[in-house]
Amino acid sequence: MNAEIRSHKDLTVWQKSIDLVEKIYTCTEQFPQREMYGLAAQMRRAAVSISSNIAEGRSRGTRKDFAHFLHMAFGSSSELETQLVIAKRLQIGKANEVESSEALLLEVSKMLRAMIDKLEARS
């Protein structure tokens, strides 16, 4: 039985994206001070952008608008994926936190892709 979706807060993908924001903030707290205004700040903005675009898109009136904002969230997820690869290659932060962030990001990205495909198939 599916619960009724009343707001973006009811969407599992939004809830997981908020978990991702927390994970990214925790992960980047371990970064060297010199990265706080560089890679860490970019990663935090990208993570926040994912959840923010899901919320904004859900509040729009049409499927087309929602799909558009989900595409933007998906783009931010690709941006964050790239930044996590950079952090890993440069060995910035704790490896286990970077890897767990990557795993959650992959889950969120797959959910976004599925939602986009479903919304666009109905258009």
Please write the tens of the pLDDT for every residue from 11-25: 999 999 999 999 999
Domain 9-26+34-121 part of CATH 1.20.1440.60:
yes
Distance linking the first and last C-alpha atoms of the chain: 25
Confidence of residue 1 (pLDDT cuts 50, 70, 90): very low
Q: By mean pLDDT, which of 37-41, 54-58, 118-122 is the weakest?
A: 118-122
pTM value > 0.85: yes
Burial status of residue 19 (CB atoms within 10 A of its CB: 0-12, 13-18, 19 or more): middle
Residue 115 neighbours by CB distance under 10 Å? 20
Please write the tens of the pLDDT for every residue from 49-92: 999 999 999 998 789 999 999 999 999 999 999 999 999 999 99
Backbone φ and ψ for 66, nearest 5 degrees, come out as -60, -45
Domain ranges of the chain: 9-26+34-121
Asked whether the beta carbons of 92 and 45 are under 8 A apart, the reply is no
